[in-house]
Homo-oligomer: A and B are copies of this chain.
Amino acid sequence: MGTGGEVLIPASGLECAHRVPVPPSRPFLETFRANLKETFFPDDPLRQWRHETAASRRFLLALQYVLPILQWAPSYTFQLFKSDLVAGITIASLAIPQGISYAKLANLPAILGLYSSFVPPLVYAMMGSSKDLAVGTVAVPSLLLASMLSREVSAIQQPALYLHLAFTAAFFAGVLQMALGLLRLGFLVDFLSHATIVGFMGGAATVVCLQQLKGILGLQHFTTATDLVSVMESIFTQTHQWRWESVVLGCGFLFFLLLTRFFSKRRPEFFWVSAAAPLTSVVLGSLLVYLTHAENHGVQVIGNLKKGLNPPSLTSLVLSPPYMMVALKAGIVTGIIALAEGIAVGRSFAMFKNYHVDGNKEMIAFGMMNIAGSMTSCYLTTGPFSRTAVNYNAGCKTAVSNIVMSTAVMITLLFLTPLFHYTPLVVLASIIISAMLGLIDYDAAIHLWHVDKIDFCVCIGAFFGVVFGSVEIGLVIAVAISILRVLLFVARPRTTVLGNIPNSNIYRRMDQFPVAQNTPGMFILQIDGPIYFANASYLRERIARWIDEEEDRLKVKEEDSSLQYVILDMGAVGSIDTSGISMLEELKKNVDRRGLQLVLANPGSELMKKLDKSKILETIGQEWIFLTVGEAVGACNFLLHTCKPGSVLDEACTSAPDNV
């Protein structure tokens, strides 16, 4: 096999042009290791590690890899702390009311919202690799948790069991997240496409808002179902139960919150206005109730919050059937969603500041965070978008802002819980609604419609699935569509005819370049994408049909030049497996039977290697493989205009065998 690259012009006058060499075969283990690395360690986490030699330094590096805080803590300055302090306090003022609201959403005692904003942030501050992520509970998984657990256990009749199941779910979610990270399976999260998430999140937000109508209208009884129909039903069947006091209160605060949000959007420097608004409305609401004693007039309040820090909950994990399975299922589902949101949020903010977030590392951090949380009376936490955005706007510099937040929450837990006694639930409802409205991303959906109709359908499918079915149904629909789409992508690679760009040696897709022209006597086809078992038989039949149609076309046009050569541009065939190779073999047979000559242009290294190993290279003939379509066409033209195919070219090129 030649080293390739050099130009040779044999006596025949035909330019064999550049040869495509067969790459030297590397030992199996080497290639295997390389592939494994590329697949599971594309970020090459041990880069510096390898450069280090001293054992002590290596140990430190390893420690720093597990606990990123050790990387940046030494260089932490007072300057940084000042910004982090501001950011921390800001998100704390958001975290406390949100935490309580979401806990209520999950049918859990309000205090859990505070607990969950105390321990997990500390864990993340040590292990997380994002500088902007603010840790806390999230609405959608909270609702999901409620809807999944309530099906087996009633939060009202068996509050203790329900609580323990929530801890257990968080535990399993943590284990799952950690496992995904350790097994480097982060890429599985990517299979939830952006379109899917937009639709799912929008639908979930809508559902959450609908749930809040209970609080706004001050209803005592409410459906446990989450779909639009049954919610509307249960609202309009008990119109006589509506309490105007709570309606007024709720709408008032909602208006206030949306106003501040709108204001802060217009004037980003006043981000703190919308950030502080929730706490403000809690304070105002509580005062109002305290002064007017509205709690006796149908305005429900939080009531007593137990003072003190998180009690340990390791012993209350439910690790035995039958209830374990419920927790496991809930843990897996909520864990995946929380993970997807957390990773996405972390990545997008890292992008603004141009630093890298290691997906797998993040998963391990989230996992540890939830495992630790599940043992200290916290339920599922992740990096919520709203809170992280506030954190970012508040100018946080490092994860210290999380530490500040959890300190603030700790102080609240120790001394300030009584102040929340009179906080009206309706205020929490309006806080949730205003937060959720931000999650319904119309623009994204419209953008999808403009750019990619199928993605739009995926998005809408997920949305309606959630709104009219249930959150799980929506999720299942979303994932199913995503996976099916991948399979379709894989099963149907595009094949396009190439034509010559006038006065150039360039060949491009004819459907794309109107100016491109057919080359008489040849049919040039490009295969877009890798060839393997999932699409080999499709490609075999599709290419056969292309050739059929081309021959029909020529017959109809009665062109003098009949088809002689089929040139395949393999430039886009990045990888190929054995099914793909045998597909090529069959194609070669098929083309021979038609009395045509198969020519390959620009095959990749993997393709060449496998063609060589599978001995098909001989069948096709190395002399029929060219570096570019242009050179292939050149050689074929030479033959067309001198003699019948095969003979001369073989001579010409085989006359210099060590170049073949």
Binding site for B on A (CB under 8 A): 3-7, 18, 21, 23, 28, 31-32, 35, 38-39, 42-44, 187-188, 190-196, 347, 351, 354, 356, 359, 447-448, 450-455, 482, 486-494, 501-504, 506, 508-509, 511-516, 528-530, 532-538, 541-542, 544-545, 571-575, 577-579, 581-582, 586, 589-590, 593, 602, 604-605, 608, 610, 613-614, 627-628
Chain B nearest CB from A238 CB (Å) reads 39
Contact A604 B502 (CB under 8 A): no
Question: Which chain B positions have C-beta within 8 A of A356?
Answer: 541, 544
Question: Which chain B positions have C-beta within 8 A of A627?
Answer: 501, 506, 508
Chain B nearest CB from A180 CB (Å) reads 14
The answer for the CA separation of A542 and B187 in the assembled complex, in Å, is 13
* Listed A/B pairs (8) with beta-carbon separation below 8 Å: A21-B512, A38-B492, A193-B579, A195-B577, A195-B578, A196-B533, A451-B581, A571-B571
Contact A486 B492 (CB under 8 A): no
The answer for the CA separation of A7 and B505 in the assembled complex, in Å, is 13
Using CB atoms, name the residue of chain B closest to A22: B512
Chain B nearest CB from A482 CB (Å) reads 7
Q: Beyond A541-B43, A605-B512, is A572–B575 a contact (Cβ under 8 Å)?
A: no
Q: Which are the 4 A-B pairs with shortest beta-carbon distances?
A: A528-B574, A5-B515, A193-B533, A512-B605
Using CB atoms, name the residue of chain B closest to A512: B605
Contact B490 A614 (CB under 8 A): no
Using CB atoms, name the residue of chain B closest to A31: B453
Contact A532 B489 (CB under 8 A): yes
The answer for the CA separation of A120 and B85 in the assembled complex, in Å, is 79
The answer for the CA separation of A501 and B513 in the assembled complex, in Å, is 26
Contact A534 B190 (CB under 8 A): yes
Contact B579 A194 (CB under 8 A): yes
Contact B488 A39 (CB under 8 A): yes
The answer for the CA separation of A536 and B610 in the assembled complex, in Å, is 28
Q: Beyond A529-B572, A604-B512, A604-B528, is A501–B193 a contact (Cβ under 8 Å)?
A: no
Partner of A194, one of B188, B492, B582, B613: B582
The answer for the CA separation of A354 and B544 in the assembled complex, in Å, is 11
Question: Which chain B positions have C-beta within 8 A of A354?
Answer: 590, 593
Contact A604 B513 (CB under 8 A): no
Question: Which chain B positions have C-beta within 8 A of A195?
Answer: 533, 577-579
Question: Which chain B positions have C-beta within 8 A of A18?
Answer: 501, 504, 506
Question: Which chain B positions have C-beta within 8 A of A4?
Answer: 513-515
Q: Beyond A187-B491, A529-B574, is A7–B538 a contact (Cβ under 8 Å)?
A: no
Chain B nearest CB from A252 CB (Å) reads 39
Partner of A533, one of B28, B38, B194, B571: B194
Contact A574 B494 (CB under 8 A): yes
Question: Which chain B positions have C-beta within 8 A of A613?
Answer: 450-451
Question: Which chain B positions have C-beta within 8 A of A509?
Answer: 604-605
The answer for the CA separation of A249 and B282 in the assembled complex, in Å, is 91
Using CB atoms, name the residue of chain B closest to A17: B504
Chain B nearest CB from A628 CB (Å) reads 6
Contact A512 B608 (CB under 8 A): yes
Chain B nearest CB from A183 CB (Å) reads 12
Contact B614 A538 (CB under 8 A): no
Contact A530 B529 (CB under 8 A): yes
Most buried by B among A482, A493, A574: A574
Question: Which chain B positions have C-beta within 8 A of A511?
Answer: 23, 605
Question: Which chain B positions have C-beta within 8 A of A530?
Answer: 489, 493, 528-529
Chain B nearest CB from A530 CB (Å) reads 6
Q: Beyond A487-B486, A514-B3, A608-B512, is A614–B572 a contact (Cβ under 8 Å)?
A: no
Q: Beyond A194-B533, A511-B605, is A28–B453 a contact (Cβ under 8 Å)?
A: yes
Chain B nearest CB from A197 CB (Å) reads 9
Chain B nearest CB from A274 CB (Å) reads 26
Contact A489 B490 (CB under 8 A): yes
Contact B504 A614 (CB under 8 A): no
Using CB atoms, name the residue of chain B closest to A453: B28
Contact B42 A452 (CB under 8 A): no
Chain B nearest CB from A387 CB (Å) reads 22
Q: Beyond A38-B492, A486-B490, is A187–B538 a contact (Cβ under 8 Å)?
A: yes
Contact B44 A545 (CB under 8 A): yes
Question: Which chain B positions have C-beta within 8 A of A575?
Answer: 489, 494, 528-529
